[in-house]
Structure 1
C-alpha cells in the first residue's frame, strides 16, 4: 500500500535499508541518503519552514511513493520506468562508484519523479503557490552537501582522481547537479499539470527516455573517465553495509 505520511515513508525506507537485498548489493546506498533528506524535510515541516506544511507533506509522500513503488516492482519482477531500471541494474554491479550510485538514484528520482509528483498534487490554478516551498527544498539539500561529500570521502579515499580528470567531484558538482535537476523538475511539473491523461502519459514516457539515457551515461561515461572511476572503485569498500553506515 502507498504511504500516506512521512513517518510511513521513513519506516518503508528503513525496511529497504535493513533488507537482505541492501546488504548483498549496492541498492541500499540511495535509500540511505534519501532517508536522511526525508528526515530533514519532516523537521522543516515541524519547525514551520514551509509556507504550507500539510501540502509539503503530501508532495513529499507522493514523491517518495514513486521510488518505493519502483523498488517494489523491481523486486517483484514487474516493469519499472527506464530511469529506475538503469539505477537498479547498476545496484547489482560491482563497477559503479558510490558517487555514481547516488547520482543515478538522484537522476531518476529528481529528473523524472519530482515533476510528476508536484503535478499530481496540484492543479493549473494552484501550482504556482507551490514554488516557494518547492525551492525551499533546494536550501535543505544544499545545506547537506558538505556533510554528504565528507561521508563519501570517508569511504572513497581516491575521489580526487575525478578532479584531475575534470570531473569536479567537490561540493559544487553535487550542488549543480541538484540545482539543475530540480530546475528541470519544476519545468516538467508546470508542463505536466496542463496536460490531459493521454498527453500526460506520452510526455512522461518522453521524460523517462531522456532521464534513462542520462542515467546510463552517468554509470558508463567515456573511456578516460571510466578508467578513473575504476581506480576510485578499487579503493572503495566491497561491503555495502560499511558504506551505508557512513552515509546514514
Structure 2
C-alpha cells in the first residue's frame, strides 16, 4: 500500500468479508474505513498543512491495523492490544460499543503513536502536531453520524449517549479524542528514541493498552450487567450492524477479491 486509496480498498475488502462471515471484526473495520475516507477527503480539500506527509502517516497507520489483521487470521499473534480486540470478536456477550472501543484502544492508543513517530522521527515530530490535531475535527464531523447508527442498533443509545456526554461530546468522539491525546504524548516520547529503546518502549505501551482492553472486556459486575442488557436489546444481524456502521460514509466501491 502506497496511497490512501489503497488503504480504503483493503479496508473495503475486510468489511465486505466480515459481512459475509457475520464476524464482529467488521464493526471496527467499518468505523475505521469511514474515518479513513473522511481523512482522505480532508487531504483533498487542503485541510492539512502538509498533504503528502499526512497521507504517508495515514498509510503507515493503516498498515499496522492491516498487518495485525492478517497476522491474526493466519493464526499468529499480533500485538497484545490487537490480540485482545480480535479474540474478543468470538465473545457474543460483548456489545457493538465494546468492540468499537477495543479497536479504538488498540489502533489509536498504540498504533497511531508508533505511526506518527515513524512518519516524523526525532525533532520532526513537533512539526506534525498541528496536522495531527486537525484530524480530531474531521473525525468529530463524522462521529455524530456514527452515533446515530448506534442508535439504530440499540434504540436507547441516543438517550444514554446524551446523558454521558462530556463537553458536548458523545461517547465515541470522546473516546477517540482521549485516545488521540494519549497517543500524541506517546509519539513525542517515541520519536527521539534509538531502535532498541523504541522496541522496549513499544512493548511497555502494548502491555498498558492490553490492560485497558481487559477492562473494556471485563468492566466489573455492575457495568457488565448493564452491558448485558444493552447486548440483548441490540437489533439486527452482525452483517446488518456492519452495514449500518459503514453507511456513515458510502462505500465508493466493493473490491471483489483480496
CA distance in 2, matches of 1:174, 1:206: 26
Alignment root-mean-square deviation, CA: 2.0
TM-score under structure 2 length normalisation = 0.89
Instruction: Identify which of 155, 168, 184 aligns with 1:186.
Output: 184
Aligned equivalent of 1:155: 153
Deviations 1:39-78 (A, max 9, x none): 0111111110100001000000000000000000000011
Q: State the 1:24 CA deviation.
A: 2.6
- Secondary structure at the aligned position of 2:122 is classed as coil
Aligned equivalent of 1:226: 224
Structure 1: runs of 5+ lacking an equivalent:
none
Aligned equivalent of 1:204: 202
CA distance in 1, matches of 2:218, 2:155: 21
Deviations 1:75-118 (A, max 9, x none): 00112111001100111211110111101100000000000000
CA distance in 2, matches of 1:210, 1:9: 27
Aligned equivalent of 1:55: 53
For residues 1-248 of structure 1, the aligned pairs below 5 Å read: 3-19=1-17, 23-159=21-157, 171-237=169-235, 239-248=237-246
Retained in 2: the 8 A contact 1:155–1:243? yes
- Secondary structure at the aligned position of 2:140 is classed as helix
Higher relative contact order (Cα pairs below 8 Å, separated by 6+ residues)? 2
CA distance in 2, matches of 1:25, 1:146: 24
| Cα separation, partners in 2 of 1:144 and 1:52, compared to 1, 3 Å | same
